[in-house]
Structure 1
Amino acid sequence: MNSPRAAWLFLAPALLVLGLFFLLPVIAALVLSLTDYDLYALADIRNLRFVALSNYWELLHRRLFWSALGNTFYFVAVGVPLSLTASLGAALLLNSPLARMKPFFRTALFAPVVTTVVAVAVIWRYLFNTKYGLINYALDSVGIHPVDWLGDPHWAMPTIILFAVWKNFGYNMIIFLAGLQAIPGDLYEAARIDGASVPRQFWHITLPMLKPTLTMVGMLTVAGYFQLFAEPYVMTEGGPLQSTVSVLYLMYEEGFKWWNLGSASAVAFLLFVIMFAVTATLLRFSRRGGEA
């Protein structure tokens, strides 16, 4: 048996699983997005009609879709830099030779990642409650009036961003910590001998050596933050005034609240196209920066 045939035989089980549980559902959803599959078609398949690109055309003319897209971009544009900054800062602190009890702090900072989103979001709802929350209690103790964190359209999304950053930064922190530990210590020793300060060491050694890791973590974080759903679903239910409705939340409502499954599939593929375009652009800029 030649090696290519043996390789395909070993890959066959994994390819079969991917085909059945990933590729086939994706193709089915794409076909579904070209139909008016709704509650009536669910009851009787004869009510199903092929509508071509009508679902996409209607979505592009819906104000709610553009509002949800704007909310999602706002979440990504603010949340991703905050998450990367927090995770890199925590990794630098844990990698410092002055740090003590590193295993404990590494576990404590990573713990939010493995907790259930829904359970923790419920706790955060109580923390940011307008009347009984600990956050407003602390503000009131220093003379600051209570803030309606989850009921004010200006504060609801920043509160969700803060929660998402706290929930997810530990995962990136572990990746950054591995990247920092892979940087040769001789580079820092040579820089110290040459009189380079700590900020200059960070700018000229740490960041360039971490660039591949930073690029990968950045794209993974962007892709993950575009899929915002659980946080607004539990904490605000898309409100107030639809200020926290994300694209994925809109897809959920279209598919499982109004049973417009064709429209929901169209939302999913529009989100895929947007995510692909954004990540491709980021990758292109990172390559240009590397060539420069």
Structure 2
Amino acid sequence: MSLAELQRLAARTQKGSASQTPDNKAALVFLGPWVLGLLLLTLGPMMMSLYLAFTDYNLLQDPKFIGLDNFERMLGDDRLHQALKVTFTYVLFAVPGQLVVALLLAMALDRGMRGLTFYRSAFYLPSLLGSSVAIAVLWRLIFGGDGLVNQLLRLFGVDATIGWISNPDTALWTIVLLHIWTFGSPMIIFLAGLRQIPREYYEAASTDGAGPVRQMRSITLPLLTPIIFFNLVLAVINSFQAFTQAFVVSGGTGGPADSTLFYTLYLYQEGFGAFRMGYASALAWLLVVLIGAFTALNFWASKRWVHYDD
């Protein structure tokens, strides 16, 4: 074969390979809006917030670089310490309470009762409405001095006149109860996990004489630990970011006596109430660090109690 023929053969081969190369233009077009949104609406504001965390900025004047002064101020900020205390208490009780209720209801629905679709939809509804302003306003009325809770207590002979929202000893627990009430999302996830457990395990356990409690402890919970871990991580992150309930129930003040001063509510007050946007940006990055630390802690601890197929 001559040199000219070899060159023509190589040219045809290269042309065929080029025609088989996949066209990625369509993928780039569809990815374009997401990439722009990531850069302009997420990474851009995050980097700007990081810069403002080291400045004195009141939204009206140009930012003034002050170094670590905002972070040093946190050490002596009593209201910040109160906000951390309230938020940690909320996470400590609201997250386990919600997950326990969601798991119990999922196990009840997993028994194949009639109207399962209706109950599943009805129990999921609070998760759709729980973070809305309307439900927070309704919650405020229910636990008011003349609210539904006190009216029910009076039917049982209890002379209840306490304003559950206005009492520093009970205000936070009403918001914890509201969070527990929004159990729909983790319940649906738990129900999907329960459906993946083979029925043969329960049949074999019943043959060996294991009762419902033993089956739950030895079969259900160990095989469901990946789902529990998934719900736990999401619940902790969402709880640290809770804002609407505390803002509406407390009227935006965090009262009474700062008993419902959530971290996000205090951040909002500093940024848009007192116009200390530089300090609010520092608070926001502290929240990022806290959420990241608790998430990393959950992943580290999961090695000891989460069981996978392998």
TM-score, reference length from structure 1: 0.91
- Identify the match of residue 273 of structure 1 among 253, 277, 289: 289
Q: Deviations over 1:64-114 (max 9, x none)?
A: 0010000000000000010000110111111113x2211111111111122
Q: Are 1:74 and 2:89 matched, yes or no? A: yes
Bigger CA drift: 228-237 or 243-252?
228-237
Distance 1:283 1:7, change over 3 A: farther
Measured after TM superposition, the shift of residue 52 of structure 1 is 1.4
Aligned mates of 1:216, 1:187 — CA distance in 2: 23
Q: Which residue of structure 1 lines up, in the alignment, with residue 36 of structure 2?
A: 16
Distance 1:7 1:66, change over 3 A: farther
> What SS is found at the alignment partner of 1:256?
helix
Q: Which residue of structure 2 lines up, in the alignment, with residue 154 of structure 1?
A: 169
Q: Which residue of structure 1 lines up, in the alignment, with residue 5 of structure 2?
A: none
Structure showing greater Rg = 2
Report the residue type matching 1:258 in the other structure.
A
Q: Deviations over 1:30-53 (max 9, x none)?
A: 111111111441xxx3xx210111
Q: Which residue of structure 1 lines up, in the alignment, with residue 305 of structure 2?
A: 289
Q: Which residue of structure 1 lines up, in the alignment, with residue 245 of structure 2?
A: 231
- Give the CA RMSD over aligned residues: 2.1
Measured after TM superposition, the shift of residue 6 of structure 1 is 8.0
Bigger CA drift: 74-83 or 256-265?
256-265
Report the residue type matching 2:265 in the other structure.
Y
> What SS is found at the alignment partner of 2:258?
coil
Aligned mates of 2:221, 2:307 — CA distance in 1: 16
Q: Percent identity?
A: 39
Aligned mates of 2:172, 2:306 — CA distance in 1: 34
Q: Are 1:185 and 2:194 matched, yes or no? A: no
Aligned mates of 2:288, 2:214 — CA distance in 1: 40
Q: Which residue of structure 2 lines up, in the alignment, with residue 145 of structure 1?
A: 159
Q: Which residue of structure 1 lines up, in the alignment, with residue 275 of structure 2?
A: 259
Aligned mates of 1:13, 1:129 — CA distance in 2: 47
Measured after TM superposition, the shift of residue 270 of structure 1 is 0.5
Aligned mates of 2:269, 2:164 — CA distance in 1: 24
- Identify the match of residue 213 of structure 1 among 197, 208, 227: 227
Query: Which segments of 5 or more consecutive residues in structure 2 lack a partner in the other structure?
Result: 1-17
Q: Which residue of structure 1 lines up, in the alignment, with residue 50 of structure 2?
A: 30
TM-score, reference length from structure 2: 0.86
Measured after TM superposition, the shift of residue 58 of structure 1 is 0.6
Bigger CA drift: 157-166 or 18-27?
18-27
Measured after TM superposition, the shift of residue 289 of structure 1 is 2.7
> What SS is found at the alignment partner of 2:284?
helix
Aligned mates of 1:210, 1:15 — CA distance in 2: 36
> What SS is found at the alignment partner of 1:239?
coil
Q: Which residue of structure 1 lines up, in the alignment, with residue 266 of structure 2?
A: 250
Query: Which segments of 5 or more consecutive residues in structure 1 lack a partner in the other structure?
Result: none
Aligned mates of 1:122, 1:13 — CA distance in 2: 37
Aligned mates of 2:196, 2:52 — CA distance in 1: 47
